[in-house]
């Protein structure tokens, strides 16, 4: 019968054909069709035909195991099952990739339908054999991966909470994740499969770290998204959030996952802000807080009590606006669930008027939205009034970003009935609000924020649909603080146009005074070494200009990259940056077009900058700041000293007042337009060129006396 089966193979099209020539007595012979018999067959050199025959064979065995009605009269004995299982495991090491899927199906059916695992087989050894069969597969087709995934992460592996079984399952997951973490499609398949495996809450509680890993898989790019869409797949984070948020019985696992995410966010790696928003860590921070937001409606008071201190610490971290956006939403959602946090934390925090301006803006946003949310609930009336009183002082904050944010949000909440009664009975509040409404400059700034506030709905965003499908800001989130800063640039020009000459400025302290003062306390720490220029010539052999450019305050990648290009063009001695990690950033490398290889670049962190400036001045260098102050010199009138350190300000806030005390002179660029705001890289390029122009003219003219 075996010979008959072999002879008919080339003409067989499906399982039905095989069944017509096979009876139950000879099934086991077909099952044990060994590799040496394959080679002895008459088509040794026709590999395609061999693969086709093998595929027919495994399709037949699959039909046999599945108990198809086509062969309902055929039954496998226990000994036949054992031999079949041994044959399948043995074939894992020698089978062609074209038949691997069929073999995985056979093993899965054996393990699933009969819960069959021979006693002399160890589960970890079997998993290792399956793992290596797929890892060594030359062509990992999507179909093959699906069947491998179901076999390797088999449901039987995830049916126990015994520690040794959980450890084995976790190891298997790590192996698969190491293969798929860079593939959006395979990551999505893994996420879907894991959700099926963890549908039982007691089992799911054993695997919060595995769920976390899938949540942190980077969102696919546009081409990968289209590929996922064609196959009706979603990114892993959406699959995981949908799974957890649609099963109320999963409250315990939700708390475990959110706890793991928050713990992850306070590790050293995630506490540091990357040079750019496109960095991998910043993208993972976004995934962490998007997931936390979606799961926040399922958190309870016990969770809030456990993590309230940690959450406030996270709010104080220096994160980019797109990350703070979601942290704010999470805090709002948690306080809606647990209102006692408002009294315990938020009210007290709003009384700290010395907090940094980013945190202040976040708290103002949180307080205002909570007033809007609870304002119509009579039982929370006293709490709403107290929050409003705590919010009002921030409308007088010295930082324009915080002040305008508070003014904008206050104007949004004053129509709440309980607040109307308070305002009408308080002449000071009434006049303050009338001033905000009546002042044209303030009202313009306030009105410019209406769009972002209209779209800001934390309750709606804390759902899968609201976060990932109906969120207009998904992928390009903007913090209110960032929007206010942009709007104020337009408002500021109206004010600056009214200043026609320096004589119209009010009298100020003769001490150098920045037009936009921001207190900044720097912690003194010893530099490992004083930075002195070691490279006297460029890579082209030309003498370097004795000009050091300090860009430690800059954090925008395009600005730093453009500055490096300018520095290389004009052959400066050195460029100092605040974080050397940006040198490895792909966006930075693209924008510098290799110029970073031809100019010395060193790192001087913000907390070391005051000490550095002190050391460099003692060594004979003059420190010049590019900043508008009451005693700054116009660039065309300024004569640069030979050895010059050029200090550049932060993109939005300029140079801190504490650093201005350490400079020898401030220079400003004359501006003839309306906006009166130059990009920091453009400003630096203009000043560097003026320094270069003066040095070139020294060879032809009698030098002027420096201003210093």
Q: What percent of the chain has pLDDT over 70?
A: 72
pLDDT tens-digit map of 617-634 = 988 899 999 988 878 899
Residue 380 lies in a domain: yes
Predicted pLDDT of residue 84? 76
Over 90: is that where the pLDDT of 253 sits? no
Judge if 628 and 570 occupy the same domain.
yes
Listed residues 495, 516, 536: the one ending a domain = 495
Residue 63 lies in a domain: yes
CA distance 489 to 494: 9
Judge if 311 and 389 occupy the same domain.
yes
Residue 534 lies in a domain: no
Q: Tally the residues of the chain.
A: 708
Judge if 556 and 655 occupy the same domain.
yes
CA distance 202 to 420: 51
Judge if 270 and 306 occupy the same domain.
no
Q: Say how many domains are in the chain.
A: 4
Listed residues 432, 464, 495: the one ending a domain = 495
Judge if 347 and 449 occupy the same domain.
yes
Alpha-carbon distance values, 90 to 9, 80, 103, 359, 376 (Å): 23, 15, 11, 62, 70
Q: Which domain holds residue 235?
A: 183-298
Judge if 331 and 465 occupy the same domain.
yes
Residue 170 lies in a domain: no
Judge if 347 and 486 occupy the same domain.
yes
pLDDT tens-digit map of 371-396 = 989 988 889 999 999 999 999 999 88
Residue 489 lies in a domain: yes
pLDDT tens-digit map of 80-107 = 777 777 777 877 877 777 778 888 888 8
Residue 513 lies in a domain: no
Judge if 473 and 595 occupy the same domain.
no
Judge if 306 and 290 occupy the same domain.
no
CA distance 224 to 639: 56
Please give the residue that has the higher pLDDT: either 22 or 180: 180
CA distance 8 to 411: 85
Predicted pLDDT of residue 584? 86
pLDDT tens-digit map of 561-614 = 999 999 999 999 999 999 888 888 888 888 998 899 899 999 998 888 999 998
Which of the four pLDDT bands, split at 50, 70 and 90, describes residue 198?
A: confident
The CATH code of the domain that includes 612 is 3.40.1280.10
- Determine how many CB atoms are found less than 10 A away from the CB of residue 178: 10
Predicted pLDDT of residue 664? 92
CA distance 505 to 587: 43
Judge if 211 and 312 occupy the same domain.
no
CA distance 641 to 706: 6
Which of the four pLDDT bands, split at 50, 70 and 90, describes residue 453?
A: low
Over 80: is that where the pLDDT of 423 sits? yes
0.85 exceeded by pTM: no
Listed residues 298, 313, 335: the one ending a domain = 298
Judge if 552 and 671 occupy the same domain.
yes
Judge if 306 and 222 occupy the same domain.
no
Residue 145 lies in a domain: yes
Residue 190 lies in a domain: yes
Predicted pLDDT of residue 540? 61
Burial per residue of 212-227, b for 16 or more beta-carbon CB atoms within 10 angstroms, e otherwise = bbbbbbbbbeeebeee
């Amino acid at each position: 019968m075996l010979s008959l089966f072999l002879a008919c193979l080339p003409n067989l099209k499906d399982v039905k054909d095989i069944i017509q020539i096979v009876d139950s007595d000879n099934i086991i012979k077909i099952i044990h069709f060994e590799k040496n018999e394959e080679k002895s067959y008459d088509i040794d050199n026709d590999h395609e035909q061999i693969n086709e025959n093998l595929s027919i064979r495994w399709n037949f065995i699959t039909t046999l195991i599945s108990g198809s009605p086509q062969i309902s009269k055929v039954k496998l004995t226990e000994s036949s099952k054992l031999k079949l299982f041994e044959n399948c495991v043995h074939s894992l090491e020698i089978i062609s990739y074209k038949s691997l899927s069929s073999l995985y199906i056979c093993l899965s059916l054996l393990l699933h339908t009969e819960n069959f695992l021979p006693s002399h087989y160890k589960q970890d050894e079997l998993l290792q054999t399956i793992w290596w069969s797929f890892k060594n597969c030359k062509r990992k087709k999507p179909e093959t991966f699906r069947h491998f995934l179901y076999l390797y992460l088999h449901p039987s592996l995830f049916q126990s909470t015994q520690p040794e079984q959980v450890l084995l399952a976790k190891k298997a997951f790590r192996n698969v994740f190491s293969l798929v973490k860079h593939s959006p499609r395979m990551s999505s398949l893994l996420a879907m499969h894991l959700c099926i495996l963890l549908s039982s809450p007691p089992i799911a509680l054993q695997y919060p770290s595995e769920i976390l890993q899938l949540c942190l898989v980077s969102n696919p790019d546009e081409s990968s998204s289209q590929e996922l869409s064609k196959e009706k797949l979603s990114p892993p984070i959406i699959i995981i959030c949908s799974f957890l948020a649609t099963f109320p019985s999963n409250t315990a696992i939700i708390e475990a996952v959110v706890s793991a995410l928050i713990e992850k966010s306070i590790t050293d790696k995630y506490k540091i802000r990357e040079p750019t928003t496109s960095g991998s860590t910043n993208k993972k921070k976004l995934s962490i807080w998007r997931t936390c937001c979606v799961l926040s409606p399922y958190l309870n008071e016990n969770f809030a009590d456990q993590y309230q201190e940690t959450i406030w610490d996270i709010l104080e971290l220096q994160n980019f606006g797109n990350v703070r956006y979601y942290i704010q939403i999470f805090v709002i959602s948690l306080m809606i669930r647990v209102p006692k946090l408002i009294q315990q934390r938020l009210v007290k925090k709003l009384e700290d008027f010395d907090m940094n301006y980013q945190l202040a803006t976040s708290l103002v946003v949180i307080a205002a939205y909570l007033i809007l949310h609870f304002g119509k609930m009579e039982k929370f009336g006293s709490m709403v009034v107290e929050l409003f009183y705590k919010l009002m002082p921030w409308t007088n904050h010295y930082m324009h970003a915080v002040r305008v944010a508070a003014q904008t949000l206050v104007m949004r909440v004053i129509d709440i009935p309980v607040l109307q009664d308070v305002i009408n009975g308080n002449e000071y509040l009434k006049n303050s609000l009338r001033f905000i409404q009546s002042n044209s400059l303030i009202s313009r700034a306030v009105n410019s924020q209406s769009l972002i506030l209209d779209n800001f709905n934390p309750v709606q965003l804390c759902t899968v649909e609201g976060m990932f499908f109906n969120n207009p800001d998904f992928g390009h989130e903007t913090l209110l603080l960032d929007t206010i800063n942009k709007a104020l640039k337009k408002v500021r020009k109206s004010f600056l146009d009214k200043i026609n000459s320096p004589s119209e400025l009010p009298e100020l302290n003769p001490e150098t005074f920045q037009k936009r003062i921001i207190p900044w306390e720097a912690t003194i720490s010893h530099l490992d070494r004083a930075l002195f220029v070691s490279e006297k010539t460029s890579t082209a052999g030309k003498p370097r200009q004795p000009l050091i450019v300090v860009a430690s305050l800059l954090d925008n990648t395009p600005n730093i990259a453009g500055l490096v290009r300018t520095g290389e063009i004009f052959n400066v001695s050195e460029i100092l940056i605040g974080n050397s990690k940006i040198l490895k950033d792909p966006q930075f490398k693209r924008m510098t077009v290799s110029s970073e290889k031809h100019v010395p670049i060193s790192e001087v962190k913000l907390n070391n900058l005051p000490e550095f400036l002190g050391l460099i001045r003692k060594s004979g260098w003059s420190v010049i700041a590019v900043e508008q102050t009451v005693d700054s010199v116009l660039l065309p009138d300024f004569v640069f000293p030979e050895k010059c350190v050029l200090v550049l300000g932060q993109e939005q806030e300029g140079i801190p007042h504490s650093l201005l005390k350490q400079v020898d002179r401030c220079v400003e660029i004359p501006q003839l337009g309306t906006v009166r705001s130059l990009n920091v890289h453009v400003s630096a390029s203009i000043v560097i060129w003026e320094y270069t122009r003066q040095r070139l003219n020294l060879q032809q003219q009698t030098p002027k006396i420096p201003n210093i």
